[in-house]
Amino acid sequence: MRKKPILLTLILLLSFNFSKGQSISTLKEAINKILVDKDATVGIAISGVNLNDSLSINGDKKLPLQSVFKYHLALAVLNQVDKGKFNLNDKITITKEDLNNNLWSPIREEYPEGIDLALADILKYTVASSDNVGCDLLFKLVGGAKVVEKYLHEVGISDVAIEYNEATQQSKWELQYMNWTTAKSANQALRLFFENSKQQLSLESHTFLWKTMKSSWTGKNSIRGHLPKETVVAHKTGHSGKNDTGLTGAQNDIGIIFLPNGKHFYLSVLVSDSKEDSNVNEKIIADIAKLAWDYFENK
């Protein structure tokens, strides 16, 4: 399929120079122009601090989470920490057998013989570095994928399903679709635990979670791709890679973007069943993030 030249895309972005008082419908129009020639299903949810500043495109469509579910997993782990079942300083033994899953793991690269790591460190590796060894150890620690799903449903995040851990979902292409969310639900999960108005998390766990999310270094060309370099973004990515037919099941980024004016907004972009190249998928996310940035910066 024919792609737009980079210059034309830049012109398109520049043509939507949001001024104060611009409506959210103008932002939605600009985003739809980005999507019009893309061979992918893209779920989008954007929301400011004021819920009136919200939009969604395919926002209720069930799309695969991939590693975005490590954010949801962290919520369940920290809930059990706050209940006193675990402590962030608890040492967890990681054996050579644990490391032998042939999946992405900075823990394995740093400690190939195994190591005792604090629970806090395993959470940091899992969320900020998307470590798969740490991820599946945490699933085991809390009681499995369905325990995580049950907790999410209990706190009101209903449009999410987590059936499998990382090793299982990566063992067969079709299984990733059993771990799903919607873009609107992903935004809900971000808002609920950032605002923490019902004290879902203790102050210590809340501070730990969002410091960790802000330290995430994956997906530098996704949400962060076109934003000013100093921008603070608390986010979690997820990526399936391509199958033998060239299809990308998921290339996602969800997060909170903090503006220079002290405000913030929530953004979830789930790119699914894409026949585009990975860099195009990332650019979809980056372009949407920049449009949203420009809109909210001028509110």
Give the separation between CA 148 and CA 154, rounded to whole angstroms.
10
CA distance 299 to 15: 18
pLDDT of residue 11: 46
Write down the pTM of the prediction: 0.93
* Burial of 4: CB neighbours in 10 Å, binned 0-12, 13-18, 19+: middle
Residue 65 lies in a domain: yes
Long-range contacts, stretch 104-108, CB < 8 angstroms, 24+ apart: 104/130, 104/131, 104/132, 105/131, 105/132, 105/133, 105/134, 106/131, 107/131, 107/133, 107/134, 108/133
CA 129 to chain centre: 12
pLDDT at 299: 82
Please give the structure tokens belonging to residue 206. Answer: 């809340």
The tens digit of pLDDT for each residue in 236-289 reads 999 999 999 999 999 999 999 999 999 999 999 999 999 999 999 999 999 999
For residue 143, tell me if it sits in a domain: yes
Give me the domain span that covers residue 268. Answer: 22-297
> Is residue 204 included in any domain, yes or no?
yes
167 by Cβ neighbours in 10 Å (0-12 / 13-18 / 19+) ranks as: middle
245 part of a folded domain:
yes
The backbone torsions φ and ψ at residue 200, rounded to the nearest 5 degrees and listed phi first, read -60, -35
Q: So which residues are the catalytic ones?
A: 67, 166
pLDDT in tens, the chain (299 residues): 444 445 445 444 444 555 555 789 999 999 999 999 999 999 999 999 999 999 999 999 999 999 999 999 999 999 999 999 999 999 999 999 999 989 999 999 999 999 999 999 999 999 999 999 999 999 999 999 999 999 999 999 999 999 999 999 999 999 999 999 999 999 999 999 999 999 999 999 999 999 999 999 999 999 999 999 999 999 999 999 999 999 999 999 999 999 999 999 999 999 999 999 999 999 999 999 999 999 999 98
User: Is residue 2 in some structural domain?
Assistant: no
* Tokens, residue 29: 């129009």
Report if residue 7 sits inside a domain: no
Confirm whether 160 is domain-assigned.
yes
- Domains in the chain, number: 1
CATH number, domain of 46, equals: 3.40.710.10
Flag whether 13 is in a domain: no
Q: What is the pLDDT of residue 5?
A: 44
